[in-house]
């Protein structure tokens, strides 16, 4: 009796795994797909996939278009997806990767989000050594004079940054006052996927920043490494940059972003 019960339990687990694989395939082939294409994608017989689809349709996790006979995700799958998105807190998701990045590089690393006043520091992992860079929690960084602000500039809609840019240009004769120069720099940042500054915000301090994206491809935060020029080399092709990109990609993936 115990062996039969155990066998039934394993079958249910396997059945759930197959159903999950089909749901994932429906998401990957969205918005809709034929039965034959879906079966090929999951490498299962079409008859088997069809049985699982009927169960998924009955539970609301899949639906079939009566005009095309194609299948797609159903209302319940949408509800689950939205609930997962709402639970994705970039501060929580980025906490461990940020700490690991600090441990590996022993440089101050911080996370910034876009607030009412601009790029705002919301989490800091300070370097563990005598010579460090003091970055205050809650600090609002300039748009045009920090690597963090410039990365936000490159990825946010212009309507989000235009007023702040005008204010900063009016306050000083900034080299990015020229519209063409500014637009060109933003394009370069998007092409490289990160940006560095050498002593632009604070003399003797280098910074390297890269974006974190949410599930719909919007910039959710910017992760930055800062350190004294004598110790930290913010080379966009160097090992610190590669480690930074790996961290931001990991956080973005956890946030639901896929390239």
Give the DSSP H or E segment for 15.
Answer: helix 2-28
Tell me where in the chain the CATH 3.30.450.40 domain(s) lie.
Answer: 90-254
Q: For 79-93, what is the mean pLDDT?
A: 69
Tell me where in the chain the CATH 1.10.10.10 domain(s) lie.
Answer: 2-86
pLDDT, tens only, 65-77 = 988 999 998 888 8
Kindly report the pTM of this predicted structure: 0.67
Helix (H, G, I), strand (E, B) or coil at 196: strand
Give the DSSP H or E segment for 101.
Answer: helix 90-105
Which of 27, 71, 59, 48 lies closest to 215 in space, CA to CA? 27
Which of residues 117 and 152 earns the better pLDDT score?
Answer: 152
pLDDT beyond 80 at 80? no
23 to each of 73, 81, 200, 211, how far by Cα in Å? 7, 12, 49, 30
pLDDT beyond 50 at 170? yes
Tokens of 174: 């900034």
- Report how far residue 76's alpha carbon sits from residue 226's, in angstroms, rounded to the nearest whole number: 44
Task: Spell out the residues 6+ positions from residue 241 whose beta carbon is closer than 8 angstroms to its own.
Answer: 194, 196, 208, 210, 234, 235
Question: 45 falls in which pLDDT band (50, 70, 90)?
Answer: very high
Query: How is residue 204 annotated by DSSP?
Result: T
Question: At residue 131, what are phi and psi to the nearest 5 degrees?
Answer: -95, 110
* Residue where the block lists tokens 């394993």: 10
Query: How is residue 139 annotated by DSSP?
Result: P
Instruction: Provide DSSP, 28-54.
Output: HTTT-B-HHHHHHHHTS-HHHHHHHHH
Yes or no: domain 90-254 corresponds to CATH 3.30.450.40: yes
Strands 195-198 and 140-141, sheet pairing: unpaired
Q: For 218-246, what is the mean pLDDT?
A: 87
- Report how far residue 247's alpha carbon sits from residue 70's, in angstroms, rounded to the nearest whole number: 38
207 close to 201: Cβ distance less than 8 angstroms:
yes
pLDDT, tens only, 185-223 = 999 999 999 999 876 566 678 899 999 999 889 999 999
pLDDT at 6: 55
- Report how far residue 63's alpha carbon sits from residue 69's, in angstroms, rounded to the nearest whole number: 10
Q: Write down the architecture of domain 2-86 according to CATH.
A: Orthogonal Bundle (1.10)
pLDDT, tens only, 28-43 = 888 889 999 999 999 9
Express as a percent the part of the chain with pLDDT over 70: 87
Q: For 123-131, what is the mean pLDDT?
A: 79
Which of residues 179 and 79 earns the better pLDDT score?
Answer: 179
Total Cβ atoms within 10 A of residue 241:
20
């Amino acid at each position: 009796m115990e062996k039969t019960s155990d066998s039934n339990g394993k079958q249910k687990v396997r059945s759930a795994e197959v159903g999950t694989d089909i749901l994932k395939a429906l998401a990957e082939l969205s918005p809709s797909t034929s039965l034959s294409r879906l079966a090929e994608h999951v490498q299962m017989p079409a008859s088997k996939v069809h049985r699982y689809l009927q169960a998924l349709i009955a539970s609301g996790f899949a639906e079939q278009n009566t005009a095309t006979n194609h299948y797609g995700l159903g209302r319940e799958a949408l509800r689950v997806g939205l609930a997962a998105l709402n639970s994705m807190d970039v501060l929580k998701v980025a906490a461990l990767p940020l700490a690991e990045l600090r441990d590996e590089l022993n440089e101050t690393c911080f996370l910034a989000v876009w607030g009412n006043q601009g790029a705002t520091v919301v989490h800091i992992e300070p370097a563990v050594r005598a010579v460090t860079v003091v970055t205050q929690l809650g600090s609002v960084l300039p748009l045009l004079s920090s690597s963090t602000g410039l990365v936000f500039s490159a990825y946010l809609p212009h309507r989000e940054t235009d007023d702040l840019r005008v204010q900063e240009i009016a306050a000083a004769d900034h080299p990015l006052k020229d519209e063409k120069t500014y637009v060109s720099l933003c394009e370069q940042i998007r092409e490289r996927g990160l940006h560095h500054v050498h002593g632009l915000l604070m003399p003797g301090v280098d910074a390297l920043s890269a974006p974190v994206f949410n599930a719909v491809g919007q910039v959710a935060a910017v992760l930055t490494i800062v350190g004294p020029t004598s110790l930290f080399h913010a080379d966009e092709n160097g090992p610190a940059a590669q480690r930074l990109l790996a961290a931001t990609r990991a956080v973005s993936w956890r946030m639901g972003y896929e390239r």
